[in-house]
């Protein structure tokens, strides 16, 4: 299957002289951004967004898919503005991870954005996003209570919280 964003393969592989089937989703990669609104109070920006795949509105970090030949830094700037309405000149990559390496090639690039400048949101046609401002400690409590279920958000914020301790 050759879709708008992903490709799906049903591959036959040989392991120890046995032919096995592996389903593979090829994804161009994505970015995740931790927008830090105020470093002194640890206020960050999250978004509430409806996700068709799970038929729910969830709380998550802004994120988006890399376009063809787009580098992660450019994508992070674009997605930050599109989803939150903020621009920045300070983006620092802090990690890369694979959200589902058992079936998918997607690599996520995690950035911290600071020194945010208010601008205007510019949603994609299928996005309905609400921006929320939350203290990092409150977000960690929300994660621990199961109120935030998005894996990239959980990983990103726990990593960021750990980096602040150092």
Per-residue model confidence as pLDDT tens digits over 57-111: 999 999 999 999 999 999 999 999 999 999 998 999 999 999 999 999 999 999 9
* Higher-pLDDT residue of 128, 77: 77
- Is residue 115 within 8 Å of residue 89, measured between CB atoms? yes
pLDDT at residue 121, as a whole number:
83
- Is residue 57 within 8 Å of residue 50, measured between CB atoms? yes
CA distance 64 to 61: 10
Helix (H) or strand (E) holding 140: helix 136-144
pLDDT confidence bin for 123, thresholds 50/70/90: confident
Per-residue model confidence as pLDDT tens digits over 139-157: 999 999 999 999 999 999 9
């Amino acid at each position: 299957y050759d879709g708008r964003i992903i490709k799906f393969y049903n591959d036959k592989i040989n392991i120890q002289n046995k032919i096995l089937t592996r389903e593979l989703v090829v994804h161009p990669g994505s970015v995740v951004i931790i927008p830090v609104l105020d470093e002194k109070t640890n206020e960050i920006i999250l978004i509430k967004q409806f996700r068709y795949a799970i038929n729910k509105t969830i709380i998550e970090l802004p994120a988006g898919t890399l376009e063809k030949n787009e580098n992660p830094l450019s994508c992070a700037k674009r997605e930050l503005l599109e989803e939150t309405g903020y621009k920045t000149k300070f983006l620092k990559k802090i990690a890369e991870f694979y959200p589902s390496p058992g079936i998918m090639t997607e690599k996520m690039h995690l950035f911290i954005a600071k020194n945010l400048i208010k601008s205007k949101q510019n949603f994609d046609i299928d996005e309905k996003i609400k921006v929320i401002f939350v203290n990092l400690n409150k977000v960690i409590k929300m994660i621990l209570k199961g109120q935030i279920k998005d894996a990239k958000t959980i990983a990103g914020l726990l990593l960021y919280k750990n980096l602040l301790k150092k």
